[in-house]
A and B are shown apart, each in its own frame.
Chain A
């Protein structure tokens, strides 16, 4: 042991430390795999558009999941992803719902923020009056149109009926003649996401199955149209040389807060506080006479805000507490109707899965995904569940997602794309996105 050795060793320690000043972590090598993200387009409905809190508004658009994906794709050769944003001075867009306070009993008080982008109406012969929004004429990658059903995508007059579609089209309603499927395929693209079919069953469910026109799209028609949509999209649009893509299943709408927040038990408990003898809530089912509700019937979220239970009608019968004044059909999805929703959802999802497999497309099982998160899961230390307002997953309309929820969806799309095409699109940091805003 001599001093020279120790002295040299001190130098050696200094060299070792100097060589590793900051901790380094292996990063993934960016790769597009077998896909090409040069022009990614998003095809779909409200979920694709960024719709939340019962409306389409700028902040929701800024948190649209395809925008998250498109931004992440830029690390693996993706191009610019353009959104049809509302103008900053019309940021409230179609208007939306906002949580303003809580009542003394802890019930949320939700108010409507008025529309800013509604600029008038148009009369569509044979259909009626439709609202008009300020048009968007710039580059477009997100083609999400709130409200669109799969069985709308080939209709040439649909652009005149849906103001969210109309604002993307060149002509003012009722002068549009381009179908949705033609519109999205008018320019070449290399990659697409397609999340369609939700509205083919959603309207029936959210309307309490009270409107005949809302009945789910015929299953065979759904299969035919989904095949058409997929086989069209993989061609990559007019002038394109083929595209790869990702599709998603339809979530189980019955497990969203829109259907799970107002329960028979909660209604009875509230009524019994002042009328302890009440044992039943009477509903008007889709068919047959009014009857007491069971735990298998779903009450819809708007029933709470309507605040009708117990209110006497002209004959003095309390609303919902007497067979002569039952809870209206539009507030109830009865057991039989719920079975229809489940049946059609399952059928559509079987179609989506088989078409995805047949066309070699990546698949996101959004149905399974939202079931898992809806049941309760901790994400990076944050509790997420399907609970209304407090669950961080669903926005104030009880059906569409919060930015946090959309970020979870974006990551699921990214993982599915990476797994199908061997790419390495980085995921987004979900904790950068918010849940429901509290007052």
Chain B
């Protein structure tokens, strides 16, 4: 056992996982297995992980669940002796799926509702980096109706149309002093409605190994006429904007996954992802009034993020499944571009979970994911904010499913 655990840890540095404000909590089984699931037809969450595998599901079903993200980020300015922490801010991205159609037919239908991008980082309103950001709440809920078709008994293809409903709420301090000695603030909040797609192929090979290949398209979250709420000195208020426009890329992800079945009770899933973060060049805000402040364009210059993950499921009994996974990730954020709204770095992920079949139809799945984002000493090229960042996250999750 020790050997196997050790091999997991040694394998970690070559594995990958997506980054920044991408969220990878779309299925409790998969989350418990390090986030792998592209190359296996595990459950209804295949609507997200591989639409091509949906037609291989043996039963129809619905499932709904969520993961509670407890994230804590720390910052210590270079030269200072004070470590500042983000406030506790619980976010619970939901995920729900339905798969229907006759399991004996080649064509099956799916519907998914999930949150592939999001984040909630809340620093103290008066923290060291307040002029860069004090809080960011970001969430994009995707709704994905899906068709999946078995071309042959061993090859399935599938595709889904994605509607994205996004919201963003960004706050920061403005380096102008109000009459009471406190600093001015800005809040930018808005909604977006955008579209994309998700497609995949699933193949059962003669050797028994299953293979999945998927691509989830980029969705560009476009905020039009968002509210720009500037709390600035009264004498200057007229010169500040009230509305803003902004575009935020929610990047495409290409994945390949493999499924191995060493025994009738055991599944091993291995995934590799490529996240096209290099589309995220700048974070730009265009304002409706530029007499006091210009439009801003903050360089991000992300590069692509690569990703591989591995997970294992074992049926301990007829009713109880145990799961385990691990991953390592390379950040898309280059040196000089780390910002406190997403203090990203390479990260190690460890996951575990279990599933319990209460009856033929009802089951419950639990997962626990631990993310350790490495500490990073950075000086931002735009803001000159300079110091150590370190983040950890604890993410327990639960899902209920009903099959027929």
**Which residue numbers of A lie inside 8 Å of B, CB to CB?**
1-10, 12-14, 16-17, 20-28, 30, 75, 101-102, 377-384, 392, 411, 414-415, 426-429, 431-432, 434-439
Contact = CB atoms under 8 A, between A and B. Distances in A.
Contacts of B382: 378
Contact of B4 (A5, A16, A24, A377): A5
A432 B82 CA distance: 13
A14 B262 CA distance: 26
Interface string B106-129: 000000000000000000001111
Contacts of B203: none
B101 interface: no
Given A1-B312, A13-B368, A22-B72, A381 B385 contact: yes
B391 A434 contact: no
Interface residues of B, number: 68
B394 A17 contact: yes
Given A3-B322, A426-B82, A16 B370 contact: yes
Nearest to A26: B388
Contact of A431 (B131, B233, B234, B388): B131
Contacts of A426: 79-82
Q: Which of A16, A431, A436, A437 has the most CB of B within 10 A?
A: A431
B350 A429 contact: no
Contact of B80 (A20, A30, A101, A427): A427
Given A30-B81, A381-B172, A429-B82, A12 B177 contact: no
A68 B59 CA distance: 69
Interface of B: 1, 4-5, 8, 72-77, 79-83, 85, 126-132, 172-173, 175-179, 181-183, 232-236, 262-263, 266, 312, 314-317, 320, 322-324, 350-354, 368, 370, 372, 375, 382-385, 388, 390-392, 394
A6 B322 contact: yes
A22 B85 CA distance: 9
A10 B384 contact: no
B40 to A, nearest CB: 15
Contacts of B236: 438
Nearest to A29: B81
Nearest to A22: B72
B181 A437 contact: yes
Contacts of A102: 235
A10 B316 CA distance: 13
Contacts of B73: 23
Contacts of B181: 434, 437
28 contacts: A3-B317, A4-B1, A6-B314, A6-B323, A9-B5, A9-B8, A10-B322, A10-B354, A10-B368, A13-B370, A14-B368, A25-B74, A25-B75, A28-B81, A30-B81, A378-B384, A379-B384, A380-B131, A380-B132, A381-B172, A381-B384, A384-B175, A411-B79, A429-B77, A431-B130, A431-B173, A432-B126, A439-B234
A392 B175 CA distance: 8
Given A7-B322, A411-B79, 11 more contacts: A3-B314, A10-B324, A10-B352, A23-B74, A23-B85, A380-B132, A381-B132, A381-B173, A381-B383, A438-B179, A439-B233
A9 B326 CA distance: 11
B188 to A, nearest CB: 15
A25 B83 contact: yes
